[in-house]
Structure 1
Amino acid sequence: MAKKSRNRASAQPEPLPLYDGKVVGPREPCPCGSGKRYKVCHGVAGATTFVKRPFEGLPGECDLVAMRELVPAATAPLTIKGHEDRTVLLASLLPVAAPAMSRDSGQVWAGLQVQHGFGDPSREVAAALLSALESAEAGESRIVGMLEAPGPGPRLQDIVADDTIDVTVHEGFDFWLADVEERDGLEEALQRANDAAMPTARLTGVEAAYWTNVGTKEHLRWVMPEPEDELLTALARLHASGADVIVPGARFVGMFRALGLLAPVWDLPVGTGAEALEEPATAFKAALDEALADTSDLTPEQRSARAGLANRQVTIR
C-alpha cells in the first residue's frame, strides 16, 4: 500500500510557472480563486501555464471578459498588425464553438467562447486567429480547431493594433450568415441557436455593463477593472448605506469572478429593461468612484458588509 501511495505522489504533475514568475504546485489552491486544488482546476486538460488576468492591457478588457463569460451574441471588429486590410471579427461565440474561421468571403473570425482551456485565453485566441489569417492569405476557407495547447507565441496584446474596442450586441446569431449568400440548409440550425440566446443589451453610459433577461428574472451584470480588494471595500461602503440599489426593487446579489476581474450582479424587477438603467448606472458609477477614493477605515457595519460580499462571489472557470 505504501509503495502505491509513493507512486501516486511521484506521478503528480510538476509545479507550473505563472506569468508573474511564481509557481503553483498541484495540491495548492488554484490561483484563479475557485477554491479547488490546482491539479483539478487549471492544472488539467493539458494546461501549460495559467494567466490570472489574460486580457489585461488590451482595449476594452472588461468587455472582452463579458463577451467570453456572460454575453451570448456579440461581435467586435479588430485590426491586426500586418493584416490591416483584412476584415477580422472577434465574436462571443462562433458556429460549433469554433476557435477561429477563415470564411469564403475572405473575412477572418475568432471566437471567445470555446470548448478548450489551456490557461491563457489571450494566447489561445491569438494562435487560432493567426492560423485563420494564414489560411485567408492563401485563399483558403476553413475552421480552425485547437486540440492541444498552442505553445509559446504572440498573445492578443502583441497583435491587436486598435486603441478601442467597439462591441455590438446582437439579438441572436444572424451575424453568422452575414457574409453568406446561399443560406439553404442553414436557417434551421440558426433558429435553434437564436432560440437559446437570452436577450441582452450593453449600457451606453458606462463601460462593460450588460442587462439581460433570463425569462423569470432580469439582471444587470457589470464587469469592473478595479483590483478586487479595493472594489470589494468600495462596494461594501455603498452596500452598508443602501447606496447599491440601482433602481427601485433591484437587489445586489453578489459577484462573478472571471479572468481576474469582478462582475457585480443585480437582480432587477421584471420589466425593467436596459434603457431604464442608463441614468441610475451612471449615478452609481459616480458614487462608486467616490467610494474607491475613500481611504478612511471601515466602520463595523461596512466591515460586516464586506465580509458578506466576499462570501457572495462565484468564480467562473
Structure 2
Amino acid sequence: MAKKTRDRTRSAAPGENPRRPCPCGSGKRYKACHGAGDDVIVTRPFEGLAIEPDLIAMREFLPSATAPLPLREPAERPVTLATVLPGAVAALVRDTGEVFLGMQVQTRSGDLSADLGRALRWALDAEPGTSLPVVGPGTAVDLVRLQDVVDPTAHLDLTLHQDFGWWVPPAEDGGEPSAEVMAMLERANAVIMPTEAVGDGVRGAYWVDTGSKAHIRWVRPEPEPELTAALARLQARGRLTLGEGTKYAGSFRAHGLLVPVWDVDRELHAKEYTDAVTAFAERLEAALADDTPLTDAERRARDVIAGKQVTLR
C-alpha cells in the first residue's frame, strides 16, 4: 500500500472559502493552492516584483550581499535583506532593533515569498537580540507574501561584500559577538567565492570566480520560451558570446526564471565585461522583439540551447 503523505481533506482556514481565488494571487482556487498545505510549490515565487532577478541571485549564487528591503509602507524597524545570516537563520533582530531577513535558509513550504513574509512578520514583533532559526508553517489567515509588503516597482540597492564581516554589529551598537558567531564567520569567509556585479547599468548580471573558472551569470526576467527563442536567434548568427575568450555555457532555471551562464577569462576584472554585456543586452532586446517564425537554423540552435538547461531544486 502506498504511504499516505498528508491529509488533503483538512478544512479551510477560518474565513477562507476554498472555492475562492487563493490570496497569494496565483489565480488558482484556494483549495488547489495554499489551502492544499505547505507542500504546494509556487514555481515563480517573486513574480510581479522588479527585484525578482536580484532576489533569485541572492537566493541561489551570491555569497555575501545585503540590501535594504523596499517596503510599500515604512516599518518601525529598518529591514535589511541578506543572502545568508549566522547559522543560516531565517531572521534576526539586532540589539538596536534592526531586522535582517535571510534568503539562503531551510524552507518549510513551497512558497519562498510566503516564507519571507512570515519571517518579516515575526521579526517586526520580536524582541531585540533574538533570531528565528526556521520559518514555521502558516495558514491562509496569516498569509503575507513579499508581493503584499514590497514596492513592486522598486529596485534593490544591493551591496556585495567580499566577506561576512557585516555579521558583526558595529562597536557603537553595543554587545559583543559570541564565540560561536566568530567561528561561523571564520568558516564562511574561508569558502566565499569572489563575486561582483558586472556594471551599474546592467541589472541581474554577476561575475563569479569559482576557483577553477570564472563565469558571468545573468538572471533574466523574460518568460523562458521567449528568452530561449531569442538566444537561439543569436546563436544561429554567431552572436551569443560576450566577446573574445568567452563562451556560452548554458543556463539554469531558478524559481521560474532562466539564468544564462558564460565562461569568461579569469584574468579580466568584472567591470571589463560591462561594455560587452551592455552590447549583448541590446542584441538580446532586438532578438526578443523579433516575432517572425524561427528559421531551420534557429530551431536547431534552440534545441541545442534547450539541451544545456538544468533546473535548480
Residue of structure 2 equivalent to 1:133: 124
1:195 counterpart = 2:190: yes
Q: Which amino acid aligns with 1:196?
A: V
Decide which of 247, 252, 256 is 1:256's aligned counterpart.
Answer: 252
State the shift of 1:272 in Å: 2.2
* Partners of 1:271 and 1:24 in 2: CA distance: 54
Residue of structure 2 equivalent to 1:178: 169
State the shift of 1:151 in Å: 2.7
Q: Which amino acid aligns with 1:134?
A: D
1:206 counterpart = 2:197: no
Contact 2:96 2:128 in 1 (8 A): no
Measured against aligned partners, the alpha-carbon deviations of 1:42-67 in whole angstroms (never above 9, x if no partner) come to: xxxx7332211111122311011110
**Identical aligned pairs, as a percentage?**
41
* Partners of 2:177 and 2:111 in 1: CA distance: 35
Decide which of 149, 170, 182 is 1:159's aligned counterpart.
Answer: 149
Residue of structure 2 equivalent to 1:77: 68
State the shift of 1:147 in Å: 5.8
Contact 1:218 1:272 in 2 (8 A): no
In the TM superposition, 1:44-59 aligns within 5 A as 47-59=38-50
Residue of structure 2 equivalent to 1:64: 55
1:103 counterpart = 2:94: yes
1:278 counterpart = 2:274: yes
1:169 counterpart = 2:176: no
Q: Comparing 158-167 with 278-287, which one deviates more in the overlay?
A: 158-167
In structure 1, list runs of 5 or more residues that go unmatched.
1-6, 26-45
Decide which of 72, 75, 80 is 1:89's aligned counterpart.
Answer: 80
State the shift of 1:85 in Å: 4.0
Measured at CA, do residues 132 and 84 of structure 1 come closer, stay the same or move farther in structure 2, by a change above 3 Å?
Answer: closer
Q: Comparing 195-204 with 162-171, which one deviates more in the overlay?
A: 162-171
Q: Comparing 279-288 with 157-166, which one deviates more in the overlay?
A: 157-166
In structure 2, list runs of 5 or more residues that go unmatched.
10-21
State the shift of 1:78 in Å: 1.6
Runs ≥4 residues deviating over 6 A: 14-18, 22-25
Measured at CA, do residues 283 and 94 of structure 1 come closer, stay the same or move farther in structure 2, by a change above 3 Å?
Answer: same
Decide which of 2, 26, 29 is 1:8's aligned counterpart.
Answer: 2
Contact 2:86 2:167 in 1 (8 A): yes
SS at match of 2:203: coil
* Partners of 2:46 and 2:54 in 1: CA distance: 10
Measured against aligned partners, the alpha-carbon deviations of 1:137-184 in whole angstroms (never above 9, x if no partner) come to: xx4321113264223211111112472221111111111113455246
Q: Comparing 79-88 with 116-125, which one deviates more in the overlay?
A: 79-88
SS at match of 2:110: coil
* Partners of 1:210 and 1:126 in 2: CA distance: 26
Instruction: Give the TM-score taking structure 2 as reference length.
Output: 0.84
SS at match of 2:202: coil
Residue of structure 2 equivalent to 1:34: none
State the shift of 1:24 in Å: 12
Contact 1:98 1:143 in 2 (8 A): yes
SS at match of 2:40: coil
Residue of structure 2 equivalent to 1:31: none
SS at match of 1:208: strand
SS at match of 2:273: helix
Q: Which amino acid aligns with 1:145?
A: P
Superposition RMSD in Å? 2.5
